[in-house]
Amino acid sequence: MNPTIKDVAQRAGVSVGTVSRVLAKNKTVSEDIRAKVEATIEAIGYRPNILGRSLRLNKTDIIGLVVPDITNPFFAELAKHVEMLASAEGYSVLLANTHDDPEAEKQQIETLLGRLPAGLILVPVSNSLVDGLISGTRTVTIDRPLSGHALVAVDNREGGYLAADHLLALGHRRIGYISGPNSTDVSAERREGFLRRLDEFRETNPGEYVAPQVVEGHFDYRSGEELGKKLLTQADATRPTAIATASDQQAIGLLRAAGDMGLRVPTDLSIVGFDDIPLASLVLPRLTTIRQPIAEITRLALEGVLGSHALQEEYKLRPVLIERGSCAAPPVP
């Protein structure tokens, strides 16, 4: 069995309270006793039992991280950042996947809560089932809002707006949009920003406007590929010359679809993604995309969970357009 604080006390000839006090650096202990205790701790290799401490203090140094799917590169990146910052502060990260299933999400959050985490970082799937479930645990929400908790997110409208703006500036008029699930706010907001820029354009250029073609699916590769096919199998005259997507994964799926159909990117088709996952700069052509400031998101989230004062209600961080090789002027007809 591991040595306990009692063993240390006994061996050092002091009381357990005293040992506890030398462990808590900032308490007042005489120098010689502190030295002696530290020596015995070293000698018998004592490591405080975290369970005892947690029970006594009624809190742990664990941070719960709930994401829809760790396999999604964006969430993997998020998890990595969270884990890095958390472990630098002496916290550990408990990981849970919801698989976009509200029922599973509820379940996961409940068991996480049962472990009395110091805080919760949550990318919510649904509001209905989780609403009111969390109380007394510092929680910040990423990407999607949950009433009663701070939200840290990229400004999705702005992101969509930037994508549309870029495409219009290049001269595209027939523009497609591959959206995420309509049920999610993230998705709705990105699309909304995108469409808003087009509306603005219509107002200033009444003659040129062509209605965007919007299709809806999931955020994953496969959806991008399928919806891409759908969008692209049209006569040259109506087929979009540019498509914006709600995620890089969709964009990469779309890239594939375009390739399958013999369309060259960016010559025949311009594509702009969303997120800027690591892979975005490694596909062929490199993907022009809307970058989420993920380090900043993580920093804020952890501050909200661990920091001394609560976060403000909502942070909307500015996305930035990363120009790479997947966009060009539309082909001349």
Q: How far is the CB of 46 from DNA (least distance, A)?
A: 7
Q: How far is the CB of 137 from DNA (least distance, A)?
A: 15
d(CA 260, CA 241): 16
Residue 216 contact partner, candidates DNA, a copy of itself, none, CB within 5 to 8 A by sort of partner = none
Does 79 help bind a copy of itself (rule: CB under 8 A)? yes
Neighbours of 164 (CB within 10 A): 26
Does 84 help bind a copy of itself (rule: CB under 8 A)? yes
CB 7 within 8 A of CB 44: yes
Tokens 């998890």, residue? 79
Q: E strand or H helix at 297, and its extent? A: helix 294-306
Site for a copy of itself in 240-269 (CB under 8 A): 252-253, 255-256, 259-260
d(CA 61, CA 66): 16
Residue with Cβ nearer DNA (30 or 204): 30
d(CA 126, CA 106): 9
Residue with Cβ nearer a copy of itself (78 or 188): 78
Residue 132 contact partner, candidates a copy of itself, DNA, none, CB within 5 to 8 A by sort of partner = none
Summarize as ranges the residues that interact with DNA (CB under 7 A).
Answer: 1-2, 4-6, 13-21, 23-24, 28-30, 32-33, 46-49, 51-53, 55-58
Q: How far is the CB of 30 from DNA (least distance, A)?
A: 3
Environment class of residue 48 by beta-carbon count within 10 Å: exposed (0-12), middle (13-18) or buried (19+)? middle
Residue 30 contact partner, candidates DNA, a copy of itself, none, CB within 5 to 8 A by sort of partner = DNA
d(CA 268, CA 262): 9
Environment class of residue 275 by beta-carbon count within 10 Å: exposed (0-12), middle (13-18) or buried (19+)? buried
- For residue 171, the 8-state DSSP code is T
Q: How far is the CB of 73 from a copy of itself (least distance, A)?
A: 7
Does 92 help bind a copy of itself (rule: CB under 8 A)? yes
Residue with Cβ nearer DNA (19 or 251): 19
Which of 13, 52, 171, 307 is in the footprint of a copy of itself by CB under 8 A? 52
Residue with Cβ nearer DNA (17 or 278): 17
Site for a copy of itself in 111-150 (CB under 8 A): 111-112, 114-116
Tokens 């390739």, residue? 259
Residue 84 contact partner, candidates a copy of itself, DNA, none, CB within 5 to 8 A by sort of partner = a copy of itself
Residue with Cβ nearer a copy of itself (111 or 182): 111
Residue 221 contact partner, candidates DNA, a copy of itself, none, CB within 5 to 8 A by sort of partner = a copy of itself
Does 95 help bind a copy of itself (rule: CB under 8 A)? yes
Axis-axis angle for helices 31-44, 16-23 (nearest 10): 90
What token pair was written down for 299?
């920093």
Q: Is 104 helix (H, G, I), strand (E, B) or coil?
A: helix
> Rounded to 5 degrees, what are φ and ψ at 151?
-120, 130
Does 283 help bind a copy of itself (rule: CB under 8 A)? yes
- For residue 309, the 8-state DSSP code is S
CB 172 within 8 A of CB 242: yes
What token pair was written down for 218?
């999931």
Residue with Cβ nearer DNA (43 or 284): 43
Where does the chain have alpha helices with state H?
Answer: 5-12, 16-23, 31-44, 50-57, 73-88, 102-114, 156-169, 185-204, 221-232, 248-260, 294-306
Does 210 help bind a copy of itself (rule: CB under 8 A)? no
Note the residues at the interface with a copy of itself (CB under 8 A).
47-52, 54-55, 58, 60, 62, 65, 69-71, 73, 76-77, 79-80, 83-84, 87, 90, 92-97, 108, 111-112, 114-116, 221-222, 225, 252-253, 255-256, 259-260, 278-279, 282-284
